[in-house]
Amino acid sequence: MPTSSYRFLCHTCLFVLIAVLSSSCSSNDDGQVLEDESIPFNGVVDFESLLENAFIDGQDNWRDHEGSGQAVVSLDATASNGTQVVEPLLETALNAPVELSRQNDDVFAFPGFTSSDDGHFMQFDLTAEGMALMALGSDADGDGIVSPAAGETGPLFGIVDGNFQLQGAGKGQVLQAALGPGDATADWYQLRLQWVTDSIDGHMTGSVFYRNLTDQDTEFRQVDGLQDVDLELDSNALLVQSDSWDTVYVHLQSSGGRTPAMDNLLPHGSSAE
Ligand SMILES: [Ca+2]
Ligand SMILES: [Ca+2]
């Protein structure tokens, strides 16, 4: 190959390198580097690409925690979902809790939350059987998973035995509120934790909203008793800051023969409806 071709290749490589760097970050007129725009908001984990009737552990970067029960990818049989979902393995002895973590990777990634994310939210779909909870966090102790017990997760929210539940970051205060009239435990719900900047002290508070997908609710309803709750993001028990969150944490547990299911995890939404 003649020398000129090598020179051409080097220029091409340089051009590609500059293009890659330009696409992964951007700067404003002052030269200040802005947030990485390659991480999209509103991305949803819908489990559709996973192998059905198989353990979720090891698929799509999901890991179940050591000593936890097993969760499986299964096809939901209801008209209100009817897609692939995740649920605890029915035969899991003694209703063992299932804890799962999924760290951001090239396939799916979400950005952490900052103090300027007023109105942003976390959201997922679930049934109200047993226990189904979700949180975000980051791995402080380097064992590849995040857990509330290790102080690695922010607010944990979901449904526990027919009650909406919100727990502050770092295994903080637990608050519950009953399902609304006409809300059956077998129904599918879309549950949203919306972040609100408190106008008085600037702390992040959270408000929980839901819609009953089985009843074809078109509007979100507020969960009375779970509005403007301190998310305890400044708790000493929380070892990781919300802007570093890069991992989804899930807790599923059957109860009294009732098995929960979850779907459509949306770790960081920015477009309020
Ligand atoms: Ca699905
Ligand atoms: Ca960890």
Model confidence over 47-88: pLDDT tens digits?
999 999 999 999 999 999 998 899 999 999 999 999 999 999
Q: Looking at residues 200-209, what average pLDDT do you find?
A: 86
pTM for this one?
0.85
Rounded CA-CA distance 154/176 in Å is 17
Please tell me the predicted confidence (pLDDT) of residue 139. 98
As its CATH architecture, domain 41-269 has Sandwich (2.60)
Dist. CA 7 → ligand 2 center (Å): 47
Does the pLDDT at position 13 exceed 70?
A: no
Q: Looking at residues 160-187, what average pLDDT do you find?
A: 96
Dist. CA 190 → ligand 1 center (Å): 13
Does the pLDDT at position 35 exceed 70?
A: no
Please tell me the predicted confidence (pLDDT) of residue 204. 86
Please tell me the predicted confidence (pLDDT) of residue 200. 67
Dist. CA 85 → ligand 1 center (Å): 5
Please tell me the predicted confidence (pLDDT) of residue 38. 61
Does the pLDDT at position 154 exceed 80?
A: yes
Q: Which two tokens stand for residue 253?
A: 């547990």
Q: Looking at residues 254-270, what average pLDDT do you find?
A: 94
Q: Which two tokens stand for residue 48?
A: 């559709």
79 burial type by CB count under 10 A (0-12 exposed, 13-18 middle, 19+ buried): exposed
Dist. CA 266 → ligand 1 center (Å): 12
- 123: number of Cβ within 10 Å: 22
Q: Which two tokens stand for residue 153?
A: 């997760």
Give the ranges where 67-114 is alpha helix by DSSP (H).
none
Dist. CA 84 → ligand 1 center (Å): 4
Q: What percent of the chain has pLDDT over 90?
A: 74
pLDDT digits (tens, 9 = 90+) for 105-141: 999 999 999 988 999 999 999 999 999 999 999 999 9
Please tell me the predicted confidence (pLDDT) of residue 240. 94
Domain range summary for the chain, segments of one domain joined by +? 1-38, 41-269
Please tell me the predicted confidence (pLDDT) of residue 93. 59
Does the pLDDT at position 271 exceed 80?
A: no
Does the pLDDT at position 144 exceed 90?
A: yes
Q: Are 246 and 104 in contact (CB under 8 A)?
A: yes
Does the pLDDT at position 104 exceed 80?
A: yes
Ligand nearest to the CA of 263: 1
Q: Nearest to residue 196, comparing CAs of 188, 186, 207?
A: 207
Q: Are 202 and 179 in contact (CB under 8 A)?
A: no
- 54: number of Cβ within 10 Å: 12
Give 104 or 5, the one with higher predicted confidence: 104
